[in-house]
């Protein structure tokens, strides 16, 4: 593992789920996590203390020396939002494939049929993608898609607008039109804990303007969506994400995934990636 | 449906017209298994983004871009295949060989065996053609599907007049002794 990979921040647990110390895995290495009152801690196999940050409902750590703070989601801190922990979904796939699937809208009509999409509304119109050098993130904006039931709080079909943001190699944020509050964005994130190169825990988390839906329903809606995604993610060949063009055939609808792969390659993030030997 | 031959993952599907296809089990778009896809008339659609592939494996439709004619380069891997006596045969390499037929015989049962196809052929000291013929009253032919170094599936064919239960029992007993032989 190169230093660059160890130096990023990774989610390793839901804060509300930590009571007594427990073992988990990060980038193939055993780590132990726990709490002392309000303080969370993380240790590696040698007992060395690793950096720990509790933010966005989750505990974050890094086995290396992070050269910057954990990314921020200022919008999520606005008052009036409901913060929803969803728990983890374990997926037998590369952590990078899990993120890429989260960035993809073209699969909605086929994988989340009649929920996030439906035939014949399959067209993906042109949207904008940038690798923002100043913040070292990938952004996709003006993404629009017709959805029969965009969220728990959506009654009928609407065209939803999205923005996608890859804030760290295994963490992405989705900003989505918010049915009860035009002009505001609902926030859904995908925090991926890379257990190994081909196994990950996916921690969805939400910051919503939805005061009416019961919590259990919000969580089970999100869980259902991720179960549908999991059945795809565990059947892709190869399991690792190919970073070199040629192996897979993207189209214009895949611009976000193309930029994500290019960015990973540029920053040398190869954990969970298939790189053709030079 | 999925199948494995010589370590290769395959997708077997039947078009509405009845034609059988054996393809590599990988969608050229994002690597999804095509065996998880769905048949629409004469095309196979991938379950992930709904890309459709026609008879020759070429992509015919990309739902995210309904007005785009998919480039010819987007193509599933196709293999020559044939259907005889209720068994689907595939050639992973180009071959001039004609697939052999079994007049008067029909498929009875497929049985997974924990042994390579070579070992099973050795056991019957049969030819190395992938088909073992066993003489006798039931005239059984075993079409062997090599899977990997330690697995194969035997597809048993027998004359239409044969007692299917008896053939099936015989096959199971053969499997037991082949696997014991190797243990
Ligand atoms: S992976 Fe098959 S259509 Fe996208
Ligand atoms: Fe999905």
CA distance B108 to B37: 28
Last residue of a domain, one of B81, B114, B142: B81
Q: Pick from B32, B50, B62: which is nearest to A251 by CB?
A: B62
* B94 in any annotated domain: no
Q: Pick from B9, B47, B50: which is nearest to A237 by CB?
A: B9
- B109 shares a domain with B76: no
Last residue of a domain, one of B49, B81, B113: B81
Ligand 1 near B74 CB (within 6 A): no
Q: Looking at the complex, report in whole angstroms how far the Cα of residue A7 sits from the nearest Cα belonging to chain B.
A: 29
State residue A153's pLDDT score: 65
State residue A107's pLDDT score: 98
CB-based contact, A122 to chain B, within 8 Å? yes
**What's the gap in Å between A30 CA and the centre of ligand 1?**
35
**Which residues span the domain enclosing B66?**
2-81
Does the pLDDT at position A258 exceed 90?
yes
* B54 in any annotated domain: yes
| Residue to probe by mutation, ligand 1, list B11, B24, B25, B32, most atoms within 8 Å of CB | B32
* B89 in any annotated domain: no
Mean pLDDT of chain A: 93
State residue A156's pLDDT score: 72
**What's the gap in Å between B177 CA and the centre of ligand 2?**
48
Ligand 1 near B29 CB (within 6 A): yes
Dihedral of alpha carbons A143, A146, A148, A153, sign: positive
Among A131-145, B117-131, B159-173, whose mean pLDDT is lowest? B117-131
Ligand 1 near B48 CB (within 6 A): yes
Does the pLDDT at position B126 exceed 70?
no
State residue A264's pLDDT score: 96
Is residue A219 within 8 A of residue A84, CB to CB? The reply is yes
Among A152-166, A255-269, B53-67, B120-134, whose mean pLDDT is lowest? B120-134
Is residue A242 within 8 A of residue A118, CB to CB? The reply is no
- B129 shares a domain with B70: no
* B95 in any annotated domain: no
* B153 in any annotated domain: yes
pLDDT band at A254 (very low <50, low <70, confident <90, very high): very high
Report pLDDT digits (tens) over A115-144.
899 999 999 999 999 999 999 999 999 999
| Residue A207: other Cβ atoms inside 10 A | 22
* B55 in any annotated domain: yes
Last residue of a domain, one of B31, B47, B81: B81
Ligand 1 near B51 CB (within 6 A): yes
Ligand 1 near B46 CB (within 6 A): yes
Mean pLDDT of A21-26: 97
- B128 shares a domain with B69: no
DSSP symbols for B83-151: EETTEEEEESS---PPPP--TTEEEEEEEEESS-HHHHHHHTT--SSSEEEE-STT-EEEEEEEEETTE
Report pLDDT digits (tens) over A195-241.
999 999 999 999 998 888 899 999 999 999 999 999 999 999 999 99
Between A147 and A54, the higher pLDDT residue:
A54
Ligand 1 near B38 CB (within 6 A): no
Report pLDDT digits (tens) over B39-75.
999 999 999 999 999 999 999 999 999 999 999 999 9
CA distance B70 to B54: 12
- Give me Rg for the CA atoms of chain A: 18
| Residue B79: other Cβ atoms inside 10 A | 18
**What's the gap in Å between A126 CA and the centre of ligand 1?**
19
Among A174-183, A233-242, B105-114, B136-145, whose mean pLDDT is lowest? B136-145
Interface pTM, i.e. ipTM:
0.94
In sequence order, the 6+-apart residues with CB closer than 8 A to the CB of B26 are A237, B9, B32, B33, B34, B76, B77
Mean pLDDT of chain B: 92
Which domains does chain A show, CATH number per domain? 3-61 (2.20.25.680), 74-274 (3.90.380.10)
CB-based contact, A123 to chain B, within 8 Å? yes
- B59 shares a domain with B112: no
- B75 shares a domain with B13: yes
Does the pLDDT at position A163 exceed 50?
yes
CB contact under 8 A, B30 and A236: yes
Does the pLDDT at position A151 exceed 70?
no
State residue A243's pLDDT score: 94
- B115 shares a domain with B74: no
* B8 in any annotated domain: yes
Report pLDDT digits (tens) over A70-117.
999 999 988 889 999 999 999 999 999 999 999 999 999 999 998 899
Q: Pick from B32, B65, B74: which is nearest to A236 by CB?
A: B32
* B51 in any annotated domain: yes
Number of domains composing chain B: 2
Q: Which of B70, B76, B79, B156 is nearest to B110 (CA)?
A: B156
Dihedral of alpha carbons A257, A260, A266, A268, sign: negative
pLDDT band at A1 (very low <50, low <70, confident <90, very high): low
State residue A235's pLDDT score: 98
CB-based contact, A107 to chain B, within 8 Å? yes
State residue A278's pLDDT score: 46
Q: Looking at the complex, report in whole angstroms how far the Cα of residue B17 sits from the nearest Cα belonging to chain A.
A: 24
Q: Looking at the complex, report in whole angstroms how far the Cα of residue A115 sits from the nearest Cα belonging to chain B.
A: 15
Residues of B in contact with A104 (CB under 8 A): 49
- B117 shares a domain with B170: yes
- B10 shares a domain with B74: yes
- B45 shares a domain with B6: yes
For residue B62, which atom of ligand 1 is closest to its CA?
A: 3
CATH code of B65's domain:
2.102.10.10
Ligand 1 near B27 CB (within 6 A): yes
- B70 shares a domain with B133: no
């Amino acid at each position: 593992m190169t230093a660059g990979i160890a130096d990023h921040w990774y989610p390793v647990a839901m804060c509300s789920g930590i009571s007594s110390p427990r073992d988990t895995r990060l980038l193939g290495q055993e780590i132990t996590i726990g709490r002392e009152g309000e303080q969370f801690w993380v240790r590696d196999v040698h007992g060395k203390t690793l950096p720990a940050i509790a933010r966005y409902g989750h505990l974050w750590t890094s086995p290396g020396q992070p050269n910057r703070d954990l990314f921020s989601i200022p919008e999520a801190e606005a008052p009036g939002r409901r913060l929803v922990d969803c728990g983890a979904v374990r997926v037998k796939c590369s952590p990078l494939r899990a993120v890429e699937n989260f960035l993809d809208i073209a699969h909605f009509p086929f994988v989340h049929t009649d929920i996030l999409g439906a035939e014949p509304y399959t067209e993906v119109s042109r949207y904008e993608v940038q690798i923002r050098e100043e913040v070292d993130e990938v952004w996709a904006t003006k993404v629009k898609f017709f959805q029969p039931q965009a969220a728990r709080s959506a009654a009928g079909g609407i065209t939803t607008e999205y923005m996608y943001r890859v804030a760290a190699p295994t963490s992405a944020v989705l900003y989505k039109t918010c049915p009860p509050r035009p002009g505001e964005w609902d926030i859904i994130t995908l925090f991926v804990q890379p257990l190994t190169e081909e196994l990950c825990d996916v921690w969805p988390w939400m910051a919503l303007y939805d005061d009416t839906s019961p919590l259990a329903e919000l969580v089970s809606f999100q869980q259902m969506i991720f179960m549908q995604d999991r059945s795809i993610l565990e059947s892709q060949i190869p399991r690792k994400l190919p970073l070199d063009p040629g192996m897979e055939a993207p189209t214009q609808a895949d611009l976000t995934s193309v930029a994500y792969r290019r960015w990973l390659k540029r920053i040398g993030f190869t954990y969970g990636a298939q790189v053709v030997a030079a | 449906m999925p199948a494995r031959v010589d370590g290769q993952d395959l997708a077997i599907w039947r078009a509405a017209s009845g034609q059988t296809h054996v393809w590599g089990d990988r969608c050229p778009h994002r690597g999804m298994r095509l065996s998880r896809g769905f048949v629409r008339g004469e095309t196979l659609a991938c379950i992930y983004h709904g890309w459709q592939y026609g008879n020759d494996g070429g992509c015919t439709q990309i739902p995210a871009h309904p007005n785009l004619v998919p480039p010819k380069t987007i193509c599933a891997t196709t293999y020559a295949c044939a259907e005889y006596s209720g068994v689907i045969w595939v050639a992973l390499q180009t071959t001039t060989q004609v697939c052999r037929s079994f007049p008067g015989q029909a498929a009875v049962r497929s049985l997974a065996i924990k042994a390579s196809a070579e070992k099973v052929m050795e056991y019957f000291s049969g030819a190395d053609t992938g088909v073992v013929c066993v003489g006798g009253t039931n005239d059984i032919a075993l079409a062997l599907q090599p899977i990997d170094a330690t697995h194969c599936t035997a597809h048993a064919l027998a004359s239409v007049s044969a007692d299917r239960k008896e053939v099936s029992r015989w096959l199971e007993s053969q499997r037991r002794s082949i696997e014991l032989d190797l243990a």
